[in-house]
Chain A
Amino acid sequence: MTSVLLVDDDPRMQVLGRKVLERQGYHVVVAANGMEAAAAAGHERFDVVLMDLEMPSVNGHQALRLIKAYQPSLPVVAVTAYAMAGDSERCREEGFDDYISKPYDIANLRALVARLAVMR
């Protein structure tokens, strides 16, 4: 079963993401910040990580480095409300495997996760 690590500090987004993905039949683990995300990724095997960027303590950028240091092949997707021009490119350059801006279309999110999970 496809397992998704959902990282977001906003409880509403945690709920929304969990519901959107679980309705699709994915296993969803939620982390509220980068530190929890890195810890979760160390404990459990995930197929996709959906990473918010701006979070307290360890943010998305730092968490990306922590995760990629041990699991370079684990797809990490930037899910962010930073949707200015060029943000997508910068995220890909930084090492994110993909980028989706908030507010996202729930169909698009599901399609993205499905595609990355299949590739894995």
Chain B
Amino acid sequence: MRLLSSRWAVVLFFGITGAPIVLLAYSSITISTASAVTAAQHGAADSAQASAAFIHQRFQDVGAGLDAFADHNLAPAMTAGPAGRPDMGSLSAELVDLTRLQNGVSTAFVTDPRGRLLTVTPAQGDLAGKYLTGDDWYQGVTTQDTPFVAGLSATGGRQDLNAVAIATPIHGQANGATVRLGYLVGLYDLEKIQMFVDDFSAAHSTNLWVIDGAGYVLAAPGLELGSVTSWPAGDQLVARALNGHPDVSRSMRDGVPSLSASAPVPGFRWVVVADVPAPVALQGADQLRATVIAIAAVLGVVLVAGLVVGWTLVRRAQQAAVLRQRMEALARLNEAASSVHAERGPSALQIIAVHARELVGADFSALGVWDAVGGRMAPVAHDATTGLPHAALDDLAVLLVERCQPASGAHRGELGELGVATGETELWEVGPYLSVPLSAGRRVLGCLVVCRREGSPRFHAVDERQLQQMAQHATSVLEKSRVDAEREAFLDRLRETNEELQQASRLKSQFLARMSHELRTPLSAILGFSDLLLEGASGELSPGQREDVQEIATAGRGLLDVLNDILDLSRIEAGRMRLELRPVRLEALLGDVASALRPLALSKSLELRLAVVGGDPPVMADPLRIRQVVTNLVSNAVKFTHAGGVIVRLLTLSREVEISVLDTGIGIPQEALDGVSDEFSQVDGGQRGFTGTGLGLSIARRLVLLHQGTIGVESEVGVGSRFWFRLPVATDAAPRQLVLAAEEGLAG
């Protein structure tokens, strides 16, 4: 799921779930308010009408009471007096009873049929005998002959606005006919109305107003008797009721919004107004609203919480999906990398082409390598999805790497007019492509191009990154190939050089062998014939001849020694000397050498002696070579000593054995000592008249060094010389072969 679409999903979810809640809450509040208002208005109207009816009924009841009282109680008294005249005493007594019995009537009076006041209770003396014909009640009662409830205003003066006059005729019998004996008038206290209003308000939370046709308030909540209050003029509510039409309306009463209803009191120009204060009326609605808002709020919170949780889950799922994709991509890359690294060269590049194509979901991939000689990008590997004709793919790869090779960095695009025929008429055309360079530093080694069929989705930045990683693999493969090639070339050169060196060495060896052979053959003749002459094969020689032939033989042997030395030295130089190292005790070896050379010493009348000092520990040595060294040193000593002797001394030191050859010979000058053992150095041989020993000493020095030993010389001219060398004492008894080189075979 993409991020954008999930955002829209959230908006949609909010719309679908949130809007109904808001709508529901709003409509519940509106409807409940409206219904509360309606209910309140109905209540107010009911209150007004009921109150009006009640007031009316009350007056009717009082009227009926008075009527009955008049006919039954007062009528007799009206004629009980002398000459059928009213008995004033009885009347007064009856009236007192009336005011006591009839609730709400505190004042009552009786008039004669002409309206003259007969008696009043409580007594009001100044009124007696007064005609009250101008009063409303008199007008009313005389015309209708039934109890009449008079209005108030007509009684004159607002000060009287505390009672309602209810008049009824007093009927009596005279001469068999009903006649009017007079009129009974009861003043019904408005206080009773006020009390009703107060009680009603307390009981029903509804305020009642009783208003007369002139606009005076007769009763009102908390109204004090005697006070004069006017209803606002022009109030349609009251005006319509006065015309007989009950009405409802909204109004402000004492600063409190109220719902009001009016009802006319039947028979009067009175109006009852019932007020329900809005806060009271809407109390239920308010509670409902609070509840609805609370529920809506809870729903909203739940919704938001649900959304947050849902969003989080969606995000987590998205992240997990992205992570999984990356892991998969990584796994594919790793797989690609490992299979690439398992291969080298062309096969690795082919694997890269396959993986690159699969990795980005392309139809075709081509890997080009820059051909510096040809000056163009040449494909070395390509891979295609199934359905592409194999025959045309090589050409497609060529065209693709040439057309899409990146100038610098990766680039994506669309390509047209490049395709391969997949059938008789059908053409597979390249559409979107993605190309990344294979670069090492600033050098562009090649490029990796993938493409899809025309009309397929384009490549994205993600594909580019993945392809670049494959390109890096390809680059490292190419680099490795290059390094491998360079190494191979270097190794080839090395092999050639080695071959040449071996060839040269072989030639040198052959030359040495040949030289040796060629020198030995004439030497064979020289020495052989010399010996034959000395043997007397051609007759006895004269002493002079014998001496001369002896010189020839000696010189020939000397030449043979030189030849052998040269061969030894060249073998050492060429590293072809093989030492057969094993623990050797030197005393016997030195004794052998001394024995071999003793005849030579004796021929010069020299003593040759062996001295052993401090035991004979074994040393690691090749006995043949040590014998050669000692022989050389001793024969030299004998050569250069003319009187005295030569001592071969074996001296055991702490970890070494020192072999010294001491002579009483001519000695070596100090300035020549350093060069004594240098190759081919020869100390003034001509002066001494001896053949050189340079090669022998050189060989001796080198052989000792090969044994990890040391060699040296001390000498004093005219006194003698000491040549010595030291070999390490053997630490283990195991023989070993120090192979310095293989021996050369026989030539020819």
Contacts and interface: CB of A to CB of B under 8 A. Distances in A.
A35 B517 CA distance: 22
Given A23-B537, A59-B748, A90-B745, A104 B516 contact: no
A12 interface: yes
A102 B521 contact: yes
A70 to B, nearest CB: 24
Contact of A81 (B512, B517, B529, B532): B517
Given A81-B516, A81-B520, A16 B525 contact: yes
A84 interface: yes
Given A20-B528, A20-B532, A84-B567, A101 B743 contact: no
B535 A23 contact: yes
B747 interface: yes
A12 to B, nearest CB: 4
Contact of B527 (A54, A87, A103): A103
B480 to A, nearest CB: 47
Interface string B525-555: 1111101100101000000000000000000
A86 B530 CA distance: 28
A6 B528 CA distance: 15
A54 B746 CA distance: 11
A65 to B, nearest CB: 15
Contact of A102 (B520, B571, B747): B520
Interface string B555-594: 0100010000001000100000000000000000000000
Nearest to B563: A83
A36 interface: no
Contacts of B529: 12, 16
Interface string B138-162: 0000000000000000000000000
A51 interface: no
A53 B512 CA distance: 17
Contacts of A102: 520-521, 523-524
A84 B567 CA distance: 8
B513 interface: yes
Q: Which of A54, A84, A90, A105 has the most CB of B within 10 A?
A: A84
A40 to B, nearest CB: 22
Contacts of B61: none
Interface in A88-120: 90-91, 101-107
Contact of B528 (A83, A91, A104): A104
A82 B563 CA distance: 12
B522 to A, nearest CB: 8
A66 to B, nearest CB: 17
A19 B746 contact: no
B531 A106 contact: yes
Given A90-B745, A106-B532, A54 B520 contact: no
Nearest to A60: B748
A80 B743 CA distance: 18
B516 A86 contact: no
A39 interface: no
A43 B526 CA distance: 33
Contacts of A13: 521, 524-525, 528
Contacts of A105: 527, 531
B484 interface: no
A16 B516 contact: no
Contacts of A54: 517, 748
Interface string A1-40: 0000000001011001001100100000000000000000
B743 A85 contact: yes
Interface of B: 512-513, 516-521, 523-529, 531-532, 535, 537, 556, 560, 567, 571, 743-748
Q: When A and B form their complex, which 5 residue pairs have the shortest distance between CB atoms, in order from nearest?
A: A81-B520, A103-B524, A102-B524, A16-B528, A81-B517
30 contacts: A13-B524, A16-B524, A16-B528, A16-B529, A16-B532, A19-B532, A19-B537, A53-B746, A54-B517, A80-B517, A81-B516, A81-B518, A81-B519, A81-B521, A82-B517, A82-B746, A83-B516, A83-B520, A84-B516, A84-B743, A84-B744, A85-B571, A85-B743, A102-B520, A103-B523, A103-B524, A103-B556, A104-B528, A105-B531, A107-B531
Given A101-B520, A103-B556, 7 more contacts: A23-B537, A54-B748, A83-B516, A84-B512, A86-B744, A104-B524, A105-B531
